[in-house]
Chain A
Amino acid sequence: MVWYTLRRCIGALITLFFVAAVIFAGTELLPGDVATALLGRDATPKRLAQVRAQLHLDRPVGERYWEWFRGFVVGEWGYSLARPTQAIAPLLGERLWNTLWLALIAASVGIPVSILLGVVAGIHRNHVPDVVISVISLVGMSLPEFVIGSLLMLVFGVMWAILPAITIAPPNASFGQLWPSMILPATTLIIVMVAYILRMVRSSVIEVLQSEYVQMAYLKGMPLPQVIWRYAIPTALLPSINAIALTVAWLIGGVVVVETVFNYPGIGRLMTAAVGDRDLPLVQAVGIVGAAFYIGVNLCADIATLWLTPRLRTQYW
């Protein structure tokens, strides 16, 4: 078991290295280069040479990439291009905390709710509870996050005015100041998460309830709630771990739009602003952080699945 965990961790690190290369390469493909983009109309050859020397653009790509990656790992993340006095690391740090709070609330409410609804829908398949829950799931899957967010904002923030529609607290506000602003964005994320996980849990529950040992338990005379609680749910949850991990990882992407809708000071909104300003170091930094989180969550899901399914440990990789 330890050996498998170790191999998965090494694999994740290699993937992170490749992902960093992809993100770095993406911004290197800029027509012209960073210096031209930075100077814009002031781009005389002399100034271009100066900026290039300043940003070390005259060194070979491999060396630049290694410098950047090494600086990243060590903790020197450089400075933002749009606001040259702003160091990236503290800026990212405080925004990242805000986003992690949001993601934590969304995940801790969303996962139990979706499992509950999925199990209920699976048990009462094709009856009224299932139909209602499936329709809700379909609508939740089909509406983009900004639509759900805007509707929530319209109903709860404007028409009934019981929750703050947009975030007024500054980015370095503490949790105590920030939590009222988290409710609507978290609800938006929860609705979308539940719609997806619900489907997965529902189909697993249906599959398990049709298996022979569950039917045997039921025919033996075991009461249905006990059958469900002891046999159906644990088995159905196993394939859902993967879906749950994918969904938590999806939060990185979903959070970008939701934070923009509600003006919430997290890394999603930071990324949008950075892309708008074409602030390359910041875009690279947020990209790497997002990818690292994604890879980390997938790694945990992999290890959890390995731990719960001993049969998988006989495979080589």
Chain B
Amino acid sequence: MKQLSFVSWVGIGLLVIHVVMALAAPWIAPYSPTAIDATQAMQPPSLLHWGGTDRFGRDIFSRVIYGGQIALVISLTSAAVAVIGGGLIGVYVAYIGGIVDDVIMRCIDALISIPSVLLLLVIVTTFGAGNGVMIAAMVLSYLPSVVRVMRATALEYIPRDFIYAARMRGEQTIDVVWNELWPNILDVLFVEFAMNASWIVLAVSGLSFLGFGVNPPTPDWGLMVNENRAMLLLAPWGILYPMGAVATLVIGLNLVSDTIAHAFGIDRSRGMPI
């Protein structure tokens, strides 16, 4: 614990604050996030409304907290499924090798070759908007790159003697993958989880901003920025609060993933979140 730098503690702190606020939303939110009160529309932040109100009179602070719930649930679920699924596929494919490896990696290459935003939009065109679609779309967009990374990591362990010894012992493929390879790639897996979680939070808020994410009136940070954008000069608090929420969550996730990567000795600077 003493080895963690100040910056790491900032990241962990931000993340903890977000999670606690999202979990405690029903108790700490002063108003319901969808309660419309036309008499209170467009009020600046005050003691009554900590974040001010938007043009329908909904309390912004409560909407930000409830939006945090949605953002965290969707992002962490998608990140977990993408990373665990990608990890299993990557390790399995690396171990099997041969034609299965080639075919699956060609498919993965094809999926990676589509810019993720375009893939997300194509999926949304076909299946409509909504929470389930978003989770599936995020998993489909981010799983291929995880497969690539995990396959490369597993390939470093496969030539080693203990894998060979396990095969000589007569262990089945699934046992080798689960008992021998999987524990060794777990550190890379955690770093990938944190990195992809931060990218998925950005992608979810971007998609909601375009209007293809959660359906209104469910609060979501991207959607709030979109709705309140029209009154930028009159009521800037409408976009500043959700912006601050997104920014602090992603900064927290980035700092935590840096910390984990540093602790495990993994180089994190890999490039764009494609």
Contact call B271/A200, Cβ cutoff below 8 A: yes
- Give A293's nearest chain B residue, CB to CB: B115
Q: Once the chains bind, are B254 and A246 in contact (CB under 8 Å)?
A: no
Of B92-100, B153-161, B203-211, the one contacting chain A is B203-211
Question: Given that A26-B122, A27-B126, A250-B115 are contacting pairs, would A260 and B210 also be in contact in the complex, using a CB cutoff of 8 Å?
Answer: yes
Inter-chain contact B243/A151, CB cutoff 8 Å: yes
Tell me, yes or no, whether B233 is within 8 Å of chain A by CB.
yes
Q: Which residues of A contact B198 (CB under 8 A)?
A: 142
A137 to B216, CA, bound (A): 33
Within 8 Å by CB of A294, from B113, B123, B226, lies: B113
Total CB contacts across the A-B interface at under 8 A? 159
**Surface stretch bound by B, among A16-24, A101-109, A167-175, A306-314:** A16-24
Q: Which of B42-50, B76-84, B170-178, B244-252 contacts A (4 or more CB under 8 A)?
A: B244-252
1/0 per position for B88-124, CB-CB distance to A under 8 A? 0000000000000000001101110111111101111
Chain B residues near A295 (CB, 8 Å)? 113
In the complex with contacts A150-B229, A286-B118, A250-B274 CB distance below 8 A? yes
| A5 contact set on B, CB distance < 8 A | none
Q: Does A182 contact B (CB under 8 A)?
A: no
What residues of A have a CB within 8 angstroms of the CB of B269 in the complex? 199-200, 202-203
Residue of B126, B270, B272 near A30 (CB, 8 A) is: B126
What 1/0 flags go to B211-227 for Cβ under 8 Å of A? 11000000000100110
Most buried by B among A26, A138, A144, A252: A144
Bound form: Cα–Cα A133–B119 in Å: 33
Chain A residues whose C-beta falls within 8 Å of the C-beta of B212 in the assembled complex:
275
Contacts of B206 in A (CB 8 A): 144-146, 257
Q: Which residues of B1-28 have CB atoms within 8 Å of chain A's CB atoms?
A: none
Interface residue count on the A side (C-beta < 8 Å): 61
Evaluate contact between A22 and B110: CB separation under 8 angstroms. yes
Residue of A nearest to B117 (CB): A253
Question: For the complex, what is the distance from the CA of A146 to the CA of B262, rounded to whole Å?
Answer: 30
In whole angstroms, what is the CA distance A116 to B49 when docked?
A: 45
Stretch touching chain B among A41-49, A87-95, A225-233, A276-284: A276-284
Within the assembled complex, what's the spacing in Å between the Cα atoms of A68 and B56? 46
- The one of A18, A146, A276 that contacts B106, using a Cβ cutoff of 8 Å: A18
Give the shortest distance, in Å, between A301 (CB) and chain B (any CB): 11
Chain A nearest CB: distance from B155 CB in Å? 15
CA distance A247 to B116 in the complex (A): 13
User: A196 and B272 in contact (CB under 8 A), knowing A27-B126, A146-B209, A252-B118?
Assistant: yes
| Contact of A147 with B by CB under 8 A | yes
Q: Please, which residues of chain B bring their CB within 8 A of the CB of A256?
A: 117-118, 121, 210
A190 at the interface (CB under 8 A from B): no
Shortest Cβ distance from A142 into chain B, in angstroms? 4
Instruction: Give the residues in chain A near B273, CB-CB below 8 Å.
Output: 250
Q: Which of A147, A257, A298 contacts B113 (CB 8 A)?
A: A298
B117 and A246 within 8 A (CB): no
List residues of A (100-147) whose CB comes within 8 Å of B's CBs. 138-139, 141-147
Q: Does B189 contact A (CB under 8 A)?
A: no
Q: Closest residue of chain A to B211, judged by CB?
A: A276
Q: Does B232 contact A (CB under 8 A)?
A: yes
> Residue among A19, A142, A257, A298 with the most chain B CB within 10 A?
A142
Complex CA distance for A291 and B251, rounded to whole angstroms: 30
Contacts of B229 on A, CB cut-off 8 Å?
A: 150, 261
**Inter-subunit contact A146/B222 (CB<8 Å):** yes
Mask of B42-72 contacts with A, CB within 8 angstroms, 1/0: 0000000000000000000000000000000
Task: Give, as a whole number of angstroms, the nearest-CB distance from B274 to chain A.
Answer: 6
**Contact call B210/A257, Cβ cutoff below 8 A:** yes
Tell me, yes or no, whether B202 is within 8 Å of chain A by CB: yes
Verify if A29 is at the interface (C-beta below 8 Å from B).
yes
Of the candidates B113, B126, B232, which one forms a contact with A26 in the assembled complex, judged by CB atoms under 8 Å apart? B126
Contact A23 B122 (CB under 8 A): yes
Assess whether B85 is interfacial by the CB under 8 Å rule: no
Q: Is A272 at the interface (CB under 8 A from chain B)?
A: yes
In the bound complex, what is the Cα–Cα distance between A72 and B99 (angstroms)?
31
Q: Is the CB of A23 within 8 A of B114?
A: yes
| A291 CB contacts on chain B under 8 angstroms | 113-115, 118
**A5 and B110 alpha carbons, distance in the complex (Å):** 19
Task: State in angstroms the CA–CA spacing of A27 and B118 once bound together.
Answer: 13
Q: Complex Cα distance A249/B124, Å?
A: 22
> Could you tell me if A147 and B271 are in contact, using CB atoms closer than 8 angstroms?
no
CB of A18 within 8 A of CB of B209, answer: no
- Docked Cα-Cα span, A79 to B225, in Å, equals 34
Closest to A291 in B: B114
User: In the complex, what's the smallest C-beta–C-beta distance from A74 to chain B, in angstroms?
Assistant: 22
CA distance A254 to B199 in the complex (A): 13
9 contacts between A and B (CB under 8 A): A18-B109, A21-B110, A29-B127, A138-B255, A139-B247, A147-B246, A154-B236, A196-B272, A200-B271
What are the 9 A-B residue pairs with the smallest beta carbon separation, nearest first? A253-B117, A18-B110, A142-B250, A253-B115, A250-B272, A243-B271, A199-B269, A142-B251, A252-B115
Residues of chain B touching chain A, judged by Cβ–Cβ distance below 8 Å, are 106-107, 109-111, 113-119, 121-127, 198, 202, 205-206, 209-212, 222, 225-226, 229, 232-233, 236, 239, 243, 246-247, 250-251, 254-255, 267, 269-274
Query: Known pairs A261-B229, A287-B121. 5 more at Cβ < 8 A?
Result: A18-B113, A26-B123, A30-B127, A150-B239, A275-B125
